[in-house]
Amino acid sequence: MNQLLTHLAVLETGQSPAIRYCGRLLSLAGARVDYAPAARGEELADAVEDYLDHGKRPSGAPSRDYDIVIGDPDSPWEDIAPQVVTGTVDPFTHTGSRADWSPSEMVLASVGGSTNYTRTSDGTPVYGFGRRFQYLAGTYLYTAIVSMLGVEPPAAPTHPRVRVANDEVVTALLPYGTTQYAYNGTATTVEQSGPRFVAACVDGYLCVYAGGSWADQAKLLGDLVDPDDPRFTAIGSRFAHADELGRLIQTWTENRTVSEAVRAADAASVAVAPCYELADALADASLFDNEVLTRQVVDGREVALAGLAYHVRETP
């Protein structure tokens, strides 16, 4: 039912994770996605290749046979017909001083400002993992390209018509750090999400969001806290005393199982969630019920494949 773009033919001429992820999204939305084998360079790791290329097929057909062509910045963009919607992802703004820089997920996350937000307990910045910001750049490309479908193109467009800058993607997804800096010259990050904690339980870890009602949290934490404690009643001061609150939450969870803690928090209307490992996510039937994960056969073996993050419920 998710397939709103079944009428489309897409040619993928790049090898970057961003382009291939965009192609995957188009494929999941029902488009026929072909890739040009000649454009593929070094192989990605098996699981990455299998994930990104599932549902696509190799083809040597010319670009004029397609509605959409997506490729790396140095793909051959000449001779593409005006009506074809085209797009690319530049690792760095192609007109900027970093246009020739070598990217990696860590480099992108760091220059764009995301890495700065996440720290270990000893203050080491942590960029994340994988290729998330590159996939998110591919998602921006999908959104822009699909928005252009059915719109009359310019008479002689310059291809690629859409250019997404991966370093800007990182900054675009941050809360409001640049605006805060513009408003008052501060670059603090702790207030840019509600106070949240990971606390150890007897059998796992619990994520606790402490940005909601203090009255509810006080009810949950019981004798450990004073419901009128000025350190925690208002959100502004709660940020300032986040470490103290974190220790109290840890005291509350340390003798409880994750299930017990979740039940108690749900009853008190405090937002919590278990911290899943990958195996927990794979064992969560709701992810399969929602079809964000599906079981597919790849190379003769059944695997879990992630799908689209949206679900078409009705198309009258």
Site for other proteins, residues 154 to 173, rule: CB under 8 A: 154, 157-158, 161-169, 171-173
DSSP-derived pairing of the beta strands 68-70 and 57-58: unpaired
- Smallest separation (angstroms) from other proteins to the CB of 290: 6
Q: How far is the CB of 237 from other proteins (least distance, A)?
A: 8
Which residue's CB is nearer to other proteins, number 60 or number 78? 78
Element (H, E) at 296: strand 293-298
Least distance in angstroms from the C-beta of 171 to other proteins: 6
H or E segment at 219? helix 214-221
CB-based contacts of 223-230 (< 8 A; 24+ apart in sequence): 224/248, 224/251, 224/252
Residues sharing a CB contact under 8 Å with residue 198, sequence separation 6 or more, in sequence order: 205, 206, 207, 208, 275
User: 9, 39, 81, 305: which one contacts other proteins (CB under 8 A)?
Assistant: 305
Residue 24 Cβ vs other proteins, minimum distance, rounded to whole Å: 8
Q: Exactly one of 77, 126, 229, 260 binds other proteins (CB under 8 A); which one?
A: 126
- Cβ 316 to other proteins shortest distance, Å: 6
Question: Which member of 56, 239, 242, 256 binds other proteins (CB under 8 A)?
Answer: 239
| 67-86 positions binding other proteins, by CB under 8 A | none
How many angstroms separate the CA atoms of 2 and 309, rounded?
10
Q: How far apart are the first and last CA of the chain?
A: 12
List, in order, residues 6 or more apart from 194 with CB less than 8 Å away: 209, 210, 211, 212, 235
Per-residue x/- marks for other proteins, 194-233, CB under 8 A?
x-x-x------x-x-x-xxxxx-----------------x
Total number of residues that touch other proteins (CB under 8 A): 152
Question: In angstroms, what is the minimal distance from the CB of 62 to other proteins?
Answer: 23
- CA angle, 86 as apex, 48 and 156 as ends, to 5°? 165
Residue with Cβ nearer other proteins (13 or 131):
131
Q: Is 198 helix (H, G, I), strand (E, B) or coil?
A: strand
